[in-house]
Amino acid sequence: MTEIDPATSALVLVDLQERIVALPTTPYSGEEVVANALRLRTAFREAGAPVVIVKVSRPDNPPGNELVFDAQDDKIVTKYTIGGFANTDLDEFLRAKGVRTVCFGGIATEFGVESSLRAASDHGYDTVVTTDEALAGLA
C-alpha cells in the first residue's frame, strides 16, 4: 500500500459528469464510483490536501455535461482533450501547491483517467491510481 503525504499530494477526479457517469461501466456502476470518489475527496480535504475536478467540455455542450456533485470548493479544470494536462492550468496549479504525488480516480478509466495519469508522469509527478472502488471502465 502506498503512503500518501497530504502535504505533497493531491487528488484528481476525472470525468464525473452526468452523461459519462450514466454510461454502463464495470466492475462498478457510475453511482458507486461517484459515492466512493466523494469519500476520497472528503478524506483528502480533511487532510488538507488539494482536490482537483477535471471535466471535459465539448463545443456542442451536450446535455448531461454538468458535474454530478457540487465542486465549488475544489479546483475545477476544464479539459478539451482526453487528458487533463493539455492546454489547461493543471500542472501550474499542482506545482504552486507543492504537489509531488497525484492520486487519480474517476470514470471511463481507460480514457481520461489513464491519459491524465500518463501526462502527470511525463510532467515528473509520482502517480497513484485509487482503489477499484473509485474507478470504473466502460462496459
Instruction: State pTM to two decimals.
Output: 0.92
With respect to residue 131, please indicate whether it lies within any of the assigned structural domains.
yes
Residue 54 lies in a domain: yes
Q: For residue 81, is it within any domain?
A: yes
Residue 77 covered by a domain: yes
Give domain status of residue 1, yes or no: no
Rounded Cα–Cα distance for residues 28 and 35 (Å): 11
Rounded Cα distance between 139 and 128, Å, is 23
3-state secondary structure of 68: coil
* pLDDT tens digits in sequence order for the chain, 139 residues long: 567 899 999 999 999 999 999 988 888 888 999 999 999 999 999 999 999 999 999 878 788 889 999 998 999 999 999 999 999 999 999 999 999 999 999 987 888 999 999 999 999 999 999 876 556 566 5
Query: Would residue 105 count as lying in a domain?
Result: yes
Q: Please give the mean pLDDT across all residues of the chain.
A: 91
Q: Tens digit of pLDDT for each residue in 5-33?
A: 999 999 999 999 999 999 888 888 889 99
Q: Is residue 114 part of a domain?
A: yes
Range of the domain at 76: 9-138
Classify residue 5 as left (phi > 0), alpha (psi -120 to 50) or beta. Answer: beta
Q: What is the CATH number of the domain that holds 41?
A: 3.40.50.850
Residue 3 in domain: no
Q: How far apart are CA 26 and CA 51, in angstroms?
A: 25
User: How many domains, in total, are found in the chain?
Assistant: 1
